[in-house]
């Protein structure tokens, strides 16, 4: 019988106790994993292309429109390659509750600016050509069951046509995915021209423009040049990277990160106390046995290591099961919420941090009992009746 | 039987300090569960109170049909004229209808705590606008002059955002404004807004003569039906008529549900974790008293008192945990100011509110954890064999 067997036997000598401790550790890591995955969903789109792409909005606020003529003027700025204007459409399907995130875009320039959107070549061509065409993201296919060839009346809660109608009839010509599963596909795009020509008010304006530059290193200079173009005009602009824009928008919902930190902190404080006190008690119960081991020639450091390993083993069993469950739960939640949030899951960083937590939990809960065990005195322990 | 039970229970409770480590861990872990639950509920009810407090039953709000939110609505000047003559609307001191045409746009401001830019509502309102907010009062300064680029600022805005002190010049987009007053509507959602004259907003934001919403004081809350019927029968009006309370309840519902839906599952998951802890602690407690319990059996005590005693111990610990959790949440979070993005794409400042109802729910959850965690160990306590007297 080697030390590893002894550690395992000690841990499971009271099976129910070991199981209960495993459950409470498991739950802390399940909470950590699920919230970590959710947080990833909120910080999506802040990496990759979004770091390089610029976005120009009205300086008052991104909900206030800019004149369409700005498109040409921004295109003239040195270093600007692609300029893709877009407008909020505020779409819903049949009932106002069935919101469809939708933008009116100039398809050719928009797809050039967002190469991460993947189309079937024939569908892409059809979408760019067809005036009444719309392209929908994969997540909307799941949510509404639409398919290519369907004709849907999409209502707008913002806009009105000259005849008073609020519905635009759209042909679904294309379905898009994203290249690597990290960008949201929960929206619909329609042709700006088709949208604009029948508007009752607010014609020839847009809400934001996505800009791709020749050299991302020049982005600071280009942002300043663009904003300088429109300084002191009735519609001043504010140009930032898309990542900074997204982050500022998410921050407006409140400090979600702080709330998650509090919850995860509470979950870990709980198990630290439960596991910590139980381990101390479990080792105290074994005082006499430890004295016997010492009598048999086990050195104090060896006993110290064995108790520490016991705590680490417990922490890893609970932690790994919890993390596994969290990965499964995140997958399910991601599928269920594909209409609202981009796809999300546990990242490598989450997993590594969790493993770090398991080591820390094992060490913290193991050190005191291991220290106690190491200092057991044979004469005192065996002298007890 | 009753005497036996009381005796064993007291014996049990008095011995808790001997096992203070496990007992304290149980109390604190349950306190944390309750704390998480109450934290989320305080957020939800604080937000609800702010939004609900804004809506009164005797103010009607009219939006374009299907617009759902003020931001998306538009009402023409002709429609406003028709509404001025509509039945069910109360008259003001000069005999004119108590009606306010309103238009709001979103403006950016810097948040004090984080220095980040957030959306604020800049609302242009008609002459009677303030009268339609029941708890409106000017805290400092004066009202804006019609036609001037002057602002009165809600108390929450002044507290949470930079640059809105009385007399300061504020730049919103290309325009400069002067802050001439600070107002309060008793902590309602309007305290998160900036107000000015309707005509100025229409002018500076090129909105022509159109507005977004029309608010009107009703002669009585029941007259909403009269007004609704009138608007429905008038073909030139394509408007939805709601009481302000219904309007705000509808727009707050989503956020409140979202917070509650996040809070309960988390609290229940954590409760399962704490349950395992309580179970363990109770096992330890029963184990520690094996000889004592067996001795009691030997001198004629039944198993049932031992069961009850263990259950009472578990429930007392859990109840204490619930109280500690509720108390700590109240001390830490009650009244803490926070803000989030409301349905109108603008910030709504609200205060966390730990309500007695929520505290009771938290303590109930704690006691449930105690009952479930204590049950199996209590059965064990009741079934300790007599021979365990010889256990070491």
Residue A141 lies in a domain: yes
Give residues with Cβ within 8 angstroms of A234, minimum separation 6: B174, B206
Whole-angstrom distance, CA of residue B98 vs CA of residue B131: 8
Residues A184 and A307 in one domain: no
Per residue in A176-215, pLDDT (tens digit) is 988 776 677 889 999 999 999 988 888 899 999 999 998 8
Residues A26 and A84 in one domain: no
Whole-angstrom distance, CA of residue A64 vs CA of residue B277: 54
- DSSP-derived pairing of the beta strands B239-243 and B175-184: unpaired
Whole-angstrom distance, CA of residue B214 vs CA of residue B104: 12
Residues A206 and A269 in one domain: no
Residue A52 lies in a domain: no
Whole-angstrom distance, CA of residue A136 vs CA of residue A171: 10
Per-position pLDDT tens, chain B of length 392: 788 888 888 888 888 888 888 888 889 999 999 998 999 899 888 888 888 777 788 899 998 877 777 877 888 888 999 998 888 898 888 888 999 999 988 888 888 877 778 888 899 998 889 988 888 999 999 999 999 999 999 999 998 898 899 999 988 867 889 999 999 988 888 899 999 999 998 888 877 888 999 999 999 888 899 999 999 898 888 888 989 888 888 777 777 887 888 888 888 888 888 888 888 888 888 888 888 888 888 888 888 888 998 899 999 999 999 999 999 999 998 888 888 877 667 788 888 899 999 999 999 999 999 999 999 999 988 888 877 777 65
The answer to whether residues A339 and A136 touch, using CB atoms and an 8 Å cutoff, is no
Q: Do B173 and A60 touch (CB under 8 A)?
A: yes
Per residue in B209-231, pLDDT (tens digit) is 889 999 999 998 888 999 999 99
**The dihedral sign for the CA sequence A152, A155, A161, A164:** positive
Residue of A nearest to B113 (CA): A255
Residues A110 and A39 in one domain: no
Mutate to test the interface with B, among A266, A269, A341 (most CBs of B within 10 A): A266
Per residue in A315-351, pLDDT (tens digit) is 999 999 999 999 999 888 877 776 666 677 888 888 9
Residue A220 lies in a domain: yes
Residues A218 and A77 in one domain: yes
Per residue in B46-82, pLDDT (tens digit) is 888 888 777 788 899 998 877 777 877 888 888 999 9
Give residues with Cβ within 8 angstroms of A176, minimum separation 6: A117, A118, A119, A135, A136, A137, A138, A185
Token readout for A15 is 């099976």
Residues A228 and A358 in one domain: no
Cα distances (angstroms) measured from residue A317 to each of A8, A26, A269, A276 = 12, 8, 18, 16
Residue A106 lies in a domain: yes
Residues A265 and A205 in one domain: no
The answer to whether residues B120 and B161 touch, using CB atoms and an 8 Å cutoff, is yes
For residue B38, the model assigns a pLDDT of 92
Question: Could you give the number of structural domains in chain A?
Answer: 2
Whole-angstrom distance, CA of residue A7 vs CA of residue A316: 14
**Which of A204, A235, A266 is the last residue in one of the domains?**
A235
**Backbone dihedral region of A288: left (phi > 0), alpha (psi from -120 to 50 degrees) or beta?**
alpha
The answer to whether residues B383 and B288 touch, using CB atoms and an 8 Å cutoff, is no
Please report the ipTM that was assigned to this predicted complex: 0.79
Per residue in A265-311, pLDDT (tens digit) is 988 998 888 899 888 888 888 888 889 988 998 898 999 999 999 99
For residue A44, the model assigns a pLDDT of 60
Per residue in B8-43, pLDDT (tens digit) is 888 888 888 888 888 888 899 999 999 989 998 998
Q: Do A20 and B276 touch (CB under 8 A)?
A: yes
Q: Do B172 and A248 touch (CB under 8 A)?
A: no
Residue A51 lies in a domain: no
Q: Which helix (H) or strand (E) holds B335?
A: none
For residue B153, the model assigns a pLDDT of 94
Residues A261 and A120 in one domain: no
Residues A258 and A203 in one domain: no
Q: Which residues in chain A are closer than 8 Å to B26, comparing Cβ atoms?
A: 274
Domain positions in chain B: 2-52+251-390, 66-237
Residues A144 and A291 in one domain: no
In sequence order, the β-bridge partners of residue B339 are B349
Residues A106 and A28 in one domain: no
Residues A78 and A34 in one domain: no
Q: Do A64 and B205 touch (CB under 8 A)?
A: yes
In angstroms, the separation between the Cα of residue A71 and the nearest Cα of chain B is 20
Predicted confidence band at A221 (pLDDT cuts at 50, 70, 90)?
Answer: very high
The answer to whether residues A192 and A140 touch, using CB atoms and an 8 Å cutoff, is no
Per residue in A251-274, pLDDT (tens digit) is 777 777 788 888 889 889 988 888
Q: What is the span of the domain harbouring residue A284? A: 3-44+254-383
Give residues with Cβ within 8 angstroms of B8, minimum separation 6: B296, B301, B305, B306, B308, B309
Q: Find the mean pLDDT for residues A99-125.
A: 91
Q: Do B283 and A16 touch (CB under 8 A)?
A: yes
**Which of A191, A208, A235 is the last residue in one of the domains?**
A235
For residue B104, the model assigns a pLDDT of 86
Q: Which residues in chain B are closer than 8 Å to A59, comparing Cβ atoms?
A: 108, 173-174
């Amino acid at each position: 019988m080697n030390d590893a067997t002894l550690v395992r036997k000690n841990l499971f000598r009271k099976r129910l106790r070991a199981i209960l401790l495993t459950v409470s550790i498991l739950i802390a890591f399940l909470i950590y994993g699920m919230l970590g995955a959710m947080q990833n969903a909120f910080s999506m789109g802040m990496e990759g292309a979004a770091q390089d792409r610029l976005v120009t909005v009205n300086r008052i606020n991104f909900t206030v429109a800019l004149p369409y003529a700005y498109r040409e003027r921004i295109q003239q700025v040195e270093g600007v390659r692609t300029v893709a204007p877009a407008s909020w459409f505020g779409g819903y399907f049949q009932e106002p509750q069935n919101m469809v995130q939708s933008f009116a875009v100039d398809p050719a320039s928009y797809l050039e600016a967002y190469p991460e959107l993947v189309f079937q070549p024939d569908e892409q061509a059809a979408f760019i050509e067809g005036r009444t065409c719309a392209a929908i993201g994969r997540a909307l296919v799941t949510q509404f069951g639409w398919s290519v060839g369907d004709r849907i009346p999409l209502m707008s809660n913002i806009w009105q046509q000259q005849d008073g109608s609020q519905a635009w009839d759209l042909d679904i010509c294309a379905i898009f995915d994203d290249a690597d599963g990290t960008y949201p596909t929960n929206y619909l795009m329609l042709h700006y021209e088709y949208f604009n020509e029948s508007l009752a008010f607010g014609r020839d304006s847009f809400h934001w423009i996505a800009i791709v530059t020749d050299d991302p290193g020049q982005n600071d200079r280009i942002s300043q040049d663009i904003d300088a173009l429109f300084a002191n005009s009735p519609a001043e602009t504010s140009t930032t990277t898309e990542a900074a824009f997204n982050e500022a928008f998410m921050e407006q919902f409140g400090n979600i990160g702080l709330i998650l930190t509090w919850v995860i902190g509470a979950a870990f404080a709980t198990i630290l106390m439960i596991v910590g006190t139980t381990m101390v008690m479990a080792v105290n119960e074994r005082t006499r046995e430890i004295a016997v081991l010492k009598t048999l020639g086990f050195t104090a450091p060896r006993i110290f290591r064995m108790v520490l390993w016991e705590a680490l083993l417990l922490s890893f069993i609970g932690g790994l099961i919890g993390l596994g469950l969290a990965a499964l739960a995140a997958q399910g939640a991601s599928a269920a919420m594909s209409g609202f949030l981009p796809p999300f899951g546990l990242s490598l960083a989450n997993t590594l941090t969790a493993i770090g937590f398991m080591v820390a939990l094992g060490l913290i809960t193991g050190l005191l009992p291991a220290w106690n065990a190491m200092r057991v005195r044979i004469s005192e322990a065996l002298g007890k009746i | 039987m009753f005497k036996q039970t009381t005796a064993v229970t007291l014996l049990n409770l008095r011995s808790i300090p001997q096992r203070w480590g496990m007992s304290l861990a149980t109390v604190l872990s349950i306190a944390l569960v309750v704390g998480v639950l109450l934290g989320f509920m305080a957020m939800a009810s604080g937000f609800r109170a702010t939004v609900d407090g804004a809506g009164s039953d005797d103010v009607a709000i009219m939006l374009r049909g299907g617009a759902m939110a003020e931001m998306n609505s538009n009402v023409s000047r002709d429609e406003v004229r028709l509404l001025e003559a509509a039945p069910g609307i109360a008259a003001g001191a000069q005999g004119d209808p108590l009606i306010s045409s309103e238009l709001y746009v979103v403006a950016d401001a810097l948040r004090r705590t984080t220095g980040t830019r957030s959306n604020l509502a800049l609302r242009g309102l008609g002459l009677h606008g303030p009268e339609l907010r029941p708890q409106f009062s000017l805290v400092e300064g004066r009202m804006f002059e019609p036609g001037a680029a002057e602002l009165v600022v809600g108390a929450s805005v002044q507290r949470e955002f930079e640059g809105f002190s009385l007399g300061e010049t504020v730049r919103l987009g290309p325009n400069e404004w002067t802050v001439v007053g600070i107002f309060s509507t008793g902590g309602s959602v309007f305290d998160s807004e900036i107000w000015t004259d309707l005509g100025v907003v229409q002018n500076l934001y090129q909105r022509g003569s159109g507005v977004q919403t029309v608010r009107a004081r009703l002669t009585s809350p029941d007259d909403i039906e009269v007004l609704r019927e009138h608007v429905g029968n008038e073909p030139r009006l394509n408007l939805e008529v709601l009481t302000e309370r219904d309007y705000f309840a509808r727009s707050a519902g989503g956020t409140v549900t979202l917070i509650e839906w996040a809070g309960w599952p988390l609290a229940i998951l954590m409760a399962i974790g704490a349950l395992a802890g309580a179970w363990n602690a109770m096992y330890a407690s029963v184990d520690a008293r094996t000889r004592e319990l067996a001795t009691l059996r030997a001198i004629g005590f039944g198993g049932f008192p031992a069961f009850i005693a263990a259950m009472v111990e578990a429930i007392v610990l859990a109840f204490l945990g619930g109280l500690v959790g509720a108390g700590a949440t109240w001390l830490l979070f009650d009244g803490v100011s926070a803000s989030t993005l409301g349905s109108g794409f603008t910030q709504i400042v609200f205060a966390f509110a730990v309500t007695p109802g929520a505290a009771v729910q938290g303590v109930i959850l704690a006691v449930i954890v105690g009952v479930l965690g204590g049950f199996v160990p209590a059965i064990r306590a009741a079934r300790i064999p007599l021979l365990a007297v010889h256990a070491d």
